[in-house]
Amino acid sequence: MTLKGRNFLTLKDYTPEEITYLIDLAEELKEKKKQGAIHDSLVGKNIVLIFEKTSTRTRCSFEVAAHDLGMHVTYLDPSVSQFGGKESVADTARVLGRMYDGIEYRGFGQEKVEELAKYAGVPVWNGLTNEFHPTQMIADMLTIRENFGKLEGLKFVYMGDARYNMGNSLMVTCAKLGMNFVACTNKKYFPANELVEYCIDIASETGATITLTEDITEATTDADVIYTDVWVSMGEPEAVWEERIHDLLPYQVNAKAFEKAKETAIFMHCLPAYHDLNTKVGQEVYKKFGLTEMEVTNEVFEGPRSVVFDEAENRMHSIKAIMKATLSD
Ligand code: CP
Ligand code: NVA
């Protein structure tokens, strides 16, 4: 299989075979790294990372993966570059495409990363937009496969804000890989109809199922994976916190949410997570609303079912696989 020259903007653009190929490659590169084997196959190449939103995992994953592959990296902070201010996305894309072999972009609307890709002439990787977070998907699927030895047929339950980048991306990925996706949340937070219809269509070919429900018992019974994400995403106004807490607190991932899940069920979260008061935002929310933990309780986050740090590590191996696949012959 060759993915050379391809953009990585959303998994809607990738076939189940291509997605599986990337998960396999991530697994192979992880194994090589653990063995200390050098795999610097992209020596001489250069990549640029553009972050319009903050990041720990994604930025570090791109940088470490690029270095492991022998590439050089430029980190571009939009506040000190011309991007979007004095220079359009299209012009920036054409300039960067002349200097770099690949471009990572994290920002707001999906249309921006699509526009970068249209003009760059080199692979563009989506490091998160409001709509999608595709590099996270390869890491998440690798993590699930490491735990269950398979993906097809597993019951994957997403609780919380299911109409943003994580919910959208996970629904698409589960549909493509033949998994049983359940969005369990207040119906205001169900993914958009158009995307649900797209996924149901894909599911009819792969054997996946797509369920949207407000019923926690129905959703979590026999679950293999329970996944959540923050209730307020980067770029959203602070003013929405009150409504989100009101609407989504019933869908907090706590010990009760796991009561009806399988013995072997795991907890996942893309991170960062609000599971205690050791963050500035956690403190602010505590002072205003009295909550000590939000989308996940500390008990679950720190408990034996939690695989969140394996998941975080797998970001690096997956991003390495994505870059290697799209840049190598
Ligand atoms: N999960 C994730 O994308 O983390 P960062 O925001 O730290 O990159
Ligand atoms: N939904 C979150 C994901 C962070 C990785 C956000 O966009 O902030």
Q: Return the pLDDT at 37.
A: 86
Using a 10 angstrom Cβ sphere, with 0-12 exposed, 13-18 middle and 19 or more buried, the burial of residue 32 is middle
In the chain, beta strands by DSSP E? 46-51, 72-76, 102-106, 124-126, 155-159, 180-184, 209-213, 225-228, 266-269
Q: Return the pLDDT at 77.
A: 85
Mean pLDDT by 10-residue block, N- to C-terminus, for the chain (329 residues)?
A: 97 98 98 89 96 96 97 89 86 97 97 97 98 99 98 98 98 99 98 98 98 98 99 97 98 98 98 98 97 98 98 98 96
Beta bridge partners of 183: 158, 212
Q: How far is the CA of 39 from the centre of ligand 2 (A)?
A: 31
Determine the Cα–Cα distance for residues 187 and 213; give it in Å rounded to an integer.
7
Mutation to probe ligand 2, out of 54, 56, 165, 169 (largest number of atoms < 8 A from CB): 165
In CATH terms, the fold of domain 136-312 is: Rossmann fold (3.40.50)
* Binding site membership of 230 for ligand 2 (Cβ less than 6 Å): yes
Nearest Cα neighbor of 141 from 22, 257, 55 is 22
Q: How far is the CA of 270 from the centre of ligand 1 (A)?
A: 7
Using a 10 angstrom Cβ sphere, with 0-12 exposed, 13-18 middle and 19 or more buried, the burial of residue 37 is exposed
Q: How far from each other are the two terminal CA atoms of the chain, in whole angstroms?
A: 10
Ligand 1 nearest atom to the CA of residue 59, by list position? 8
Q: Is 44 helix (H, G, I), strand (E, B) or coil?
A: coil
Determine the Cα–Cα distance for residues 129 and 116; give it in Å rounded to an integer.
13
Instruction: List, in sequence order, the alpha helices (H) in 81-215.
Output: 89-99, 110-120, 134-148, 165-176, 193-206
Q: Return the pLDDT at 78.
A: 77
CATH (one of 3.40.50.1370, 3.40.50.460, 1.20.1600.10, 3.30.70.2860) for 11-133+313-327: 3.40.50.1370
Whether the CB-CB separation of 224 and 148 falls below 8 Å is answered with yes
Query: Which ligand lies nearest to the CA atom of residue 170 in the structure?
Result: 2
Whether the CB-CB separation of 261 and 306 falls below 8 Å is answered with no
Q: Return the pLDDT at 41.
A: 87
Q: Is 106 helix (H, G, I), strand (E, B) or coil?
A: strand
Mutation to probe ligand 2, out of 51, 110, 163, 229 (largest number of atoms < 8 A from CB): 229
Dihedral-angle region of residue 107 (phi above 0 means left; psi in -120 to 50 means alpha; beta otherwise): beta
- Give the residue whose CA is nearest to atom 6 of ligand 1: 55
Q: Return the pLDDT at 8.
A: 99
The binding-site residues of ligand 1, defined as CB within 6 angstroms of any ligand atom, are: 55-58, 128, 136, 270-271
Ligand 1 nearest atom to the CA of residue 54, by list position? 6
- List the structure tokens of 226: 């329970």
In the chain, which residues fall in CATH 3.40.50.1370? 11-133+313-327, 136-312
Ligand 1 nearest atom to the CA of residue 271, by list position? 1
Which residues does the annotation mark as catalytic? Answer: 106, 133, 136, 229, 270, 315
- For the segment 1-16, what is each residue's pLDDT rounded down to a tens digit? 999 999 999 999 999 9
pTM of this structure? 0.98
- For the segment 188-238, what is each residue's pLDDT rounded down to a tens digit? 999 999 999 999 999 999 999 999 999 999 999 999 999 999 999 999 999
DSSP string, 186-217: -GGGSPPHHHHHHHHHHHHHHT-EEEEES-HH
- List the structure tokens of 290: 């009295």
